Structure 1
Amino acid sequence: MTRCVFIIDRALPPGLVANTAAALSMTLGKLRPELVGCDLQDADGVGHPGITSIVMPILVSDADGLRALRRNAAEREAEGLGVIGMTDVAQRAKSYDDYSRRLAATRQEELRYLGLCLHGPAALVRSLTGSLPLLK
Structure 2
Amino acid sequence: MDWMREKCVMIIDEKLPLGLIANTAAILGITLGKTVPEVVGTDVVDQNGNPHLGIIAFPVPVLKGSSDVIKEIKKRLQDPFFQDIIVVDFSDLAQECKTYDEYKEKMAAMPEQALQYLGIAICGSKKEINTLTGNMPLLR
- What is the TM-score with the length of structure 2 in the denominator? 0.94
Segments of 5+ residues of structure 2 without an aligned counterpart are none
Q: Does 1:37 align with 2:57?
A: no
Kindly state the Cα deviation for residue 49 of structure 1 after the two structures are TM-superposed: 0.4
Q: Does 1:133 align with 2:125?
A: no
Q: Work out whether residues 7 and 59 of structure 1, in 8 Å CA contact, stay in contact via their aligned partners in 2.
A: yes
Cα RMSD, aligned residues only: 0.8
How many equivalent residue pairs?
A: 135
Structure 1 runs, 4 residues or longer, greater than 6 Å off: none
Segments of 5+ residues of structure 1 without an aligned counterpart are none
SS across alignment from 1:115? strand
Alignment partner, residue 51 of structure 1? 55
Per-residue Cα deviation, 1:49-93 (whole angstroms, up to 9, x for no partner): 000101100001111111101100222442x11111000010001
Matches within 5 A, 1:1-136: 1-75=5-79, 76-78=81-83, 80-136=84-140
In 1, the alpha carbon distance for the partners of 2:21 and 2:15 equals 9
Q: Work out whether residues 86 and 113 of structure 1, in 8 Å CA contact, stay in contact via their aligned partners in 2.
A: yes
